[in-house]
Amino acid sequence: MKPYDSYLFDADGTLFDTVDLICTCFQYVAEKYAGKTMDRSTIINGIGLPLKSQLITHLGPEFDQEQILDDYLQYQLSIMEDSIRPFPHVTETLEILKSAGKKLAIVTSRRRFSLEKILHSTDTARYFDVLVTPEDTTKHKPDAEPALKAMSLLGADKTNTVFTGDA
Protein backbone atom coordinates (compact mmCIF):
# COMPACT_ATOMS: atom_id res chain seq x y z
CA MET A 1 0.00 0.00 0.00
CA LYS A 2 1.17 3.51 -0.82
CA PRO A 3 2.35 5.45 2.25
CA TYR A 4 0.33 8.68 2.20
CA ASP A 5 1.49 11.87 3.92
CA SER A 6 -1.95 13.24 4.84
CA TYR A 7 -5.09 11.54 6.11
CA LEU A 8 -8.57 13.06 6.20
CA PHE A 9 -11.30 11.39 8.25
CA ASP A 10 -15.03 11.80 8.62
CA ALA A 11 -16.08 11.79 12.29
CA ASP A 12 -19.55 10.25 12.63
CA GLY A 13 -19.62 6.61 11.63
CA THR A 14 -15.90 6.53 10.79
CA LEU A 15 -13.90 7.54 13.85
CA PHE A 16 -16.74 7.63 16.35
CA ASP A 17 -19.81 5.47 16.84
CA THR A 18 -22.46 8.18 17.05
CA VAL A 19 -25.45 6.40 15.49
CA ASP A 20 -27.33 5.81 18.75
CA LEU A 21 -26.72 9.40 19.87
CA ILE A 22 -27.96 10.88 16.59
CA CYS A 23 -31.05 8.64 16.52
CA THR A 24 -31.91 9.44 20.14
CA CYS A 25 -31.65 13.19 19.49
CA PHE A 26 -33.74 13.09 16.30
CA GLN A 27 -36.40 11.03 18.05
CA TYR A 28 -36.40 13.52 20.93
CA VAL A 29 -37.09 16.58 18.74
CA ALA A 30 -39.51 14.73 16.44
CA GLU A 31 -41.66 13.77 19.41
CA LYS A 32 -41.34 17.17 21.09
CA TYR A 33 -42.17 19.32 18.05
CA ALA A 34 -44.12 17.14 15.64
CA GLY A 35 -45.55 14.55 18.00
CA LYS A 36 -44.22 11.79 15.79
CA THR A 37 -41.86 8.88 16.04
CA MET A 38 -39.01 8.84 13.56
CA ASP A 39 -37.93 5.55 12.06
CA ARG A 40 -34.33 4.70 12.94
CA SER A 41 -33.47 3.71 9.34
CA THR A 42 -34.73 7.08 8.05
CA ILE A 43 -32.48 8.89 10.51
CA ILE A 44 -29.48 6.70 9.68
CA ASN A 45 -29.90 7.36 5.94
CA GLY A 46 -29.44 11.09 6.58
CA ILE A 47 -26.32 10.86 8.72
CA GLY A 48 -23.52 12.87 7.16
CA LEU A 49 -25.74 15.60 5.74
CA PRO A 50 -25.96 18.99 7.46
CA LEU A 51 -28.23 18.80 10.51
CA LYS A 52 -30.41 21.81 9.66
CA SER A 53 -31.37 20.43 6.24
CA GLN A 54 -32.19 17.07 7.81
CA LEU A 55 -34.48 18.71 10.37
CA ILE A 56 -36.37 20.54 7.62
CA THR A 57 -36.67 17.34 5.57
CA HIS A 58 -37.90 15.20 8.46
CA LEU A 59 -39.99 17.65 10.48
CA GLY A 60 -41.09 20.13 7.82
CA PRO A 61 -40.47 23.84 7.25
CA GLU A 62 -43.46 24.93 9.33
CA PHE A 63 -41.56 24.57 12.60
CA ASP A 64 -39.09 27.07 14.04
CA GLN A 65 -35.95 25.41 12.70
CA GLU A 66 -33.58 27.46 14.84
CA GLN A 67 -35.44 26.49 18.02
CA ILE A 68 -35.50 22.81 17.00
CA LEU A 69 -31.82 22.93 16.11
CA ASP A 70 -30.98 24.55 19.45
CA ASP A 71 -33.02 21.96 21.39
CA TYR A 72 -31.44 19.11 19.40
CA LEU A 73 -27.92 20.37 20.09
CA GLN A 74 -28.57 21.11 23.78
CA TYR A 75 -30.06 17.65 24.28
CA GLN A 76 -27.15 16.08 22.40
CA LEU A 77 -24.60 17.91 24.54
CA SER A 78 -26.37 16.76 27.70
CA ILE A 79 -26.04 13.06 26.81
CA MET A 80 -22.96 13.08 24.56
CA GLU A 81 -20.16 12.11 26.93
CA ASP A 82 -21.92 8.90 27.93
CA SER A 83 -22.96 8.04 24.37
CA ILE A 84 -19.87 8.33 22.14
CA ARG A 85 -16.80 6.16 21.88
CA PRO A 86 -14.19 5.73 19.17
CA PHE A 87 -14.65 2.59 17.11
CA PRO A 88 -12.28 -0.26 18.01
CA HIS A 89 -8.65 0.36 17.01
CA VAL A 90 -9.24 4.00 16.03
CA THR A 91 -7.10 5.46 18.80
CA GLU A 92 -4.28 3.01 18.10
CA THR A 93 -4.41 3.77 14.37
CA LEU A 94 -4.31 7.53 14.98
CA GLU A 95 -1.35 7.05 17.32
CA ILE A 96 0.55 5.07 14.67
CA LEU A 97 -0.13 7.67 11.97
CA LYS A 98 0.76 10.62 14.20
CA SER A 99 3.94 8.92 15.44
CA ALA A 100 4.94 8.40 11.81
CA GLY A 101 4.70 12.17 11.22
CA LYS A 102 1.53 12.04 9.13
CA LYS A 103 -0.79 15.06 8.90
CA LEU A 104 -4.31 14.31 10.13
CA ALA A 105 -7.59 16.19 9.68
CA ILE A 106 -11.26 15.68 10.35
CA VAL A 107 -13.73 16.75 7.64
CA THR A 108 -17.26 16.51 9.00
CA SER A 109 -20.84 17.76 8.80
CA ARG A 110 -20.87 17.99 12.60
CA ARG A 111 -20.70 21.50 14.04
CA ARG A 112 -17.35 22.58 15.46
CA PHE A 113 -18.33 22.98 19.14
CA SER A 114 -19.90 19.51 19.11
CA LEU A 115 -16.89 17.94 17.37
CA GLU A 116 -14.51 19.59 19.84
CA LYS A 117 -16.53 18.20 22.75
CA ILE A 118 -16.32 14.69 21.25
CA LEU A 119 -12.58 15.02 20.69
CA HIS A 120 -12.07 16.22 24.26
CA SER A 121 -14.26 13.53 25.86
CA THR A 122 -12.59 10.75 23.83
CA ASP A 123 -9.06 12.14 24.36
CA THR A 124 -8.41 12.21 20.60
CA ALA A 125 -8.03 15.96 19.92
CA ARG A 126 -4.23 15.71 20.13
CA TYR A 127 -4.04 13.65 16.96
CA PHE A 128 -5.57 16.21 14.59
CA ASP A 129 -3.82 19.13 12.94
CA VAL A 130 -6.94 20.50 11.23
CA LEU A 131 -10.72 20.35 11.75
CA VAL A 132 -13.07 21.35 8.93
CA THR A 133 -16.73 21.73 9.91
CA PRO A 134 -19.76 23.27 8.15
CA GLU A 135 -18.86 26.67 9.61
CA ASP A 136 -15.65 26.65 7.55
CA THR A 137 -17.02 26.25 4.03
CA THR A 138 -19.81 27.48 1.78
CA LYS A 139 -20.50 24.04 0.34
CA HIS A 140 -20.69 20.93 2.48
CA LYS A 141 -20.10 17.22 2.12
CA PRO A 142 -20.54 15.40 -0.18
CA ASP A 143 -19.16 18.38 -2.14
CA ALA A 144 -15.35 18.36 -2.36
CA GLU A 145 -14.93 21.87 -0.88
CA PRO A 146 -14.47 20.72 2.76
CA ALA A 147 -11.85 18.11 1.82
CA LEU A 148 -10.02 20.60 -0.39
CA LYS A 149 -10.07 23.14 2.46
CA ALA A 150 -8.55 20.58 4.83
CA MET A 151 -5.82 19.74 2.33
CA SER A 152 -5.05 23.43 1.86
CA LEU A 153 -4.81 24.00 5.62
CA LEU A 154 -2.57 20.95 5.99
CA GLY A 155 -0.42 21.98 3.05
CA ALA A 156 -1.23 18.57 1.58
CA ASP A 157 -0.99 17.40 -2.01
CA LYS A 158 -4.11 15.69 -3.36
CA THR A 159 -2.05 12.88 -4.88
CA ASN A 160 -0.59 12.09 -1.47
CA THR A 161 -3.77 12.35 0.63
CA VAL A 162 -6.39 9.75 1.48
CA PHE A 163 -9.93 10.43 2.77
CA THR A 164 -11.68 7.82 4.90
CA GLY A 165 -15.42 8.07 5.46
CA ASP A 166 -18.56 6.00 5.69
CA ALA A 167 -20.63 7.57 2.92
Reported as a single tens digit per residue, the pLDDT across 108-120 is 999 899 999 999 9
Specify the number of domains making up the chain.
Answer: 2
pLDDT of res. 86: 97
The catalytic residues are: 10
pTM of the model: 0.83
Does residue 121 sit in the same domain as residue 94? yes
Phi, psi of 133 (to 5 degrees): -120, 175
Average pLDDT over residues 120-148: 96
Does residue 23 sit in the same domain as residue 10? no
Domain that holds residue 58: 19-82
Tell me the pLDDT tens digit for each residue of 140-162.
888 999 999 999 999 999 999 99
Average pLDDT over residues 84-109: 97
What is the C-alpha separation between 87 and 43, in angstroms, rounded?
20
What is the C-alpha separation between 137 and 135, in angstroms, rounded?
6
In-domain check, residue 32? yes
In-domain check, residue 1? no
Going by the DSSP 8-state scheme, the letter that residue 143 receives in this structure is: S
Within 8 A by CB and 6+ apart from 84, the residues are 16, 17, 18, 21, 118, 121, 122
